[in-house]
Each structure stands twice: as structure tokens, then as C-alpha cells.
Amino acid sequence: MKKPNKVIPQFKSEKEERAFWEKNDASEYFDLSKAVRVVMPNLKPTTASISLRLSQSFLEGIKSQANKMDVPYQSLMKIWLAEKLEEATK
């Protein structure tokens, strides 16, 4: 027979709640057999910085095009890369 879950106390602050969960096992408070997978579509994906060596003239061409389109040049590069990746994966 499964023992009942413990009752989660009321917290006065986020700091108090954090301290509580650092000291207690969450499995004693939740029935994980009833857990449901959640999708959070509005979260921004994690990004990574990369180094990319381009000729000065090539970069100036990209910056010029971005300026005409009134977008940051790095954003334009991401858009172009995403478009090419989508084409390549079709």
C-alpha cells in the first residue's frame, strides 16, 4: 500500500521555499506516477557563441545587406543559415 504524500507547507518567500526544497526530497511530496510531460513552446532555446572567420569584404557585404533590411547583421546571418538548413533538410 502506498503511503500518502506529505503536505507542502506555505512559504513566506522564494528564499524560504528554495531552502525547503534543498533539504527535502520532492518524491515524498508528489506522486510521480501521475506526472505529465509539459511542452513550453514560448521558451527561448539555449544559444551558443561560435567563432566564424570571414573575409573583411564578405562581412562588409553582409553588414551592408543587413543595413538595407534594417536588421542587425548577426540576426540576418542566423536567418540566412536557418533558411539554408531548412532547404537542405527537405
Predicted TM-score of the model (pTM): 0.52
Q: What is the pLDDT of residue 70?
A: 97
Domain residue ranges in the chain:
14-35+52-88
Task: Express each pLDDT in 63-79 by its tens digit.
Answer: 999 999 999 999 999 99
> Can you give the pLDDT at residue 35?
86
| List of the chain residues with pLDDT < 70 | 1-4
Cell digits of residue 79? 536567418
Q: Are 77 and 62 in contact (CB under 8 A)?
A: yes
